[in-house]
Chain A
């Protein structure tokens, strides 16, 4: 349930800025009156521990703000800019007049408006490093042409749709510009609720007050992934969460899953979870149950959508749910603050909330038909970009489970590594790899020598620079493809190379892969006639796993940097195969 706008306004007056460790500068430009949005965002930022600084453009001044490079907007230097425009003000008099124009005139008007928007976006990109979120236009439900509106050669509605389509198209070529689908906001809440003629005449208010908190909530979808405070893993209870009833009491045939209206609601919920899994959201189970009873349903029930392979970790036992949750986090190596926990039991939810406030706990209601809408309302699973690795993540974690089982079945580490059949494929950066390479530099904390963060654009520039080598490693083993999981960036000099970045995703640490990648770099440098390679270790709170990597691989410390002399034999790990492209 959202709070009301007046609640947000009251809360915004009592925000303690001191407790925030992150900060963000937000600019809001709008074509109509949007009072209250600023206060609501301020509260929502504070709830996430982000210090909020804002700049509000003057009423309907968005054109001037965006076009004038000396405007208050650019002086403020925002991190994120929201441009919220509405169809009435964008079309001006044409909002009414366009109905009595010819088809060709409407076509020209659409072109003119598209050019204006494109110009705004490009001017903004040239003047600011901020991310830009711009709305599309609502298509009014009314047309004076009534039922023949859609028979016109180029009607009023089609004209607005054309502007929207072009806007969508333009944004595909601008990496840091996003479209907020205001049309879908209107269709979700209904035009009659969003647009109140009284508020419109009283103060050009085009989004009703009571819906401003919901708009703010949607805009937060862009903020959360910028700070990595999006959620990556959903932990699920079983009884009355994935199916109706209690399998331990009602039995395999007694639970509700499919076939009845309630049962269908659980199936629908599972289908939506599967959709998220396919987008790279990790699923796990945390249930108080007899393992045999529950696993029988998961593996054998004909209406079960989610099967064993969809879960990266399964904890079915009678232990404390908080202990199980911690175990899941540790075993799949993911932060508690990346997790969402779904349970129908109030006491379990309270227990988790108390023990791990950083986990987002959702107490499901009694009515299972509400599970799916609750899941769909969440704005916690957003990403600003999606790589192939993200889409394969579920599969990758399922393989990890197999790998862990295998590790337990062999007697020692050497046997385990030898029998994994690891293959490391080292690739040079290219257009397809750039998003993933950037993503790894942005989020890898543990095995990372220098923790230098690079946006996509920067990786692209380095990849085109002859003085640099940008490379990455794709790792395969007998259980499957681990994806692109290692990155290195080398700065080349006349006589030596410098390792600017060297990192490895935490899920493949400890298998000698880092040594294999490094020895390949050393070999390449030697082949090019280099005398030495320099490297650096910049300690952070999290990169202890990489602390001794250089010294263990024959680098010697000299002042602040580490040096490897290329005059000796290069050690190569023998339990894995290295391929270069």
Chain B
């Protein structure tokens, strides 16, 4: 499943082992998840899945599970 690849990308952007990433991971639980790195994450996801998020999707993301929910809307499953 392609959605499984999300955790690895999140881990790479925030320089963490993939095992530490869960659906609940968020700017509160990951120290380096600031607004800039959040946008770098968006860029990595878009390049990887060949999609473009809308601004409201980007600002709406509060944790990893939100990312997966929006990816589903872009037909990533």
Contacts and interface: CB of A to CB of B under 8 A. Distances in A.
A49 interface: no
| Chain A binding surface SS class | helix
B39 A199 contact: yes
B15 A203 contact: no
B72 interface: no
B12 A6 contact: yes
B12 A210 contact: no
B35 A4 contact: no
A521 B56 CA distance: 78
A35 B15 contact: no
Given A5-B43, A209-B43, A202 B58 contact: yes
B36 A203 contact: yes
Contacts of A215: none
B66 interface: no
B64 interface: no
A201 interface: yes
A203 B35 contact: yes
Contacts of A4: 43-44, 47
A203 B37 CA distance: 12
Contacts, number: 42
Looking at chain A, what size class is its interface with the partner chain?
A: 10 to 19
A198 B13 CA distance: 20
A527 B1 CA distance: 91
Nearest to B53: A198
Interface in B21-51: 35-37, 39-41, 43-44, 47
A202 B47 contact: no
Contacts of A202: 39, 55, 58-59
A60 to B, nearest CB: 16
A5 B13 CA distance: 9
Nearest to B9: A6
A9 interface: yes
A210 B55 contact: no
Contact of A13 (B15, B35, B39, B44): B15
Q: Interface of chain B, helix or strand or loop or mixed?
A: helix
Contacts of A10: 12, 15
B40 A203 contact: no
B8 to A, nearest CB: 12
Contacts of B59: 202
A6 B43 CA distance: 9
Interface in A274-316: none
A199 B52 CA distance: 12
B39 A203 contact: yes
Contacts of A13: 15
A36 B15 contact: no
Interface string A1-25: 0001110011001000000000000
Contact of A36 (B35, B40, B58): B40
A202 B40 CA distance: 12
B55 A9 contact: no
Contacts of A208: 43
A332 to B, nearest CB: 44
A10 B12 CA distance: 8
Contacts of B54: 198
A4 B47 CA distance: 10
A454 to B, nearest CB: 44
A236 interface: no
A459 B37 CA distance: 48
A364 interface: no
Given A198-B55, A202-B58, A210-B47, A6 B39 contact: no
A516 interface: no
A205 interface: yes
Contact of B13 (A6, A199, A201, A205): A6
A209 B40 contact: yes
A529 B76 CA distance: 90
B25 to A, nearest CB: 16
Nearest to A33: B36
B15 A5 contact: no
B58 A198 contact: yes
Contacts of B52: 198
Contacts of B15: 9-10, 13
A13 B37 CA distance: 14
A374 B49 CA distance: 28
12 contacts: A4-B43, A5-B40, A6-B13, A6-B41, A9-B37, A10-B12, A35-B36, A198-B55, A198-B58, A202-B39, A202-B55, A202-B58
Interface of B: 12-13, 15, 35-37, 39-41, 43-44, 47, 52-55, 58-59
Given A6-B12, A9-B40, 4 more contacts: A36-B36, A202-B39, A203-B35, A203-B39
Interface of A: 4-6, 9-10, 13, 35-36, 198-199, 201-203, 205, 208-210
Ordered nearest first, which 5 A-B pairs have the shortest CB separation? A209-B43, A35-B36, A6-B13, A10-B15, A198-B55
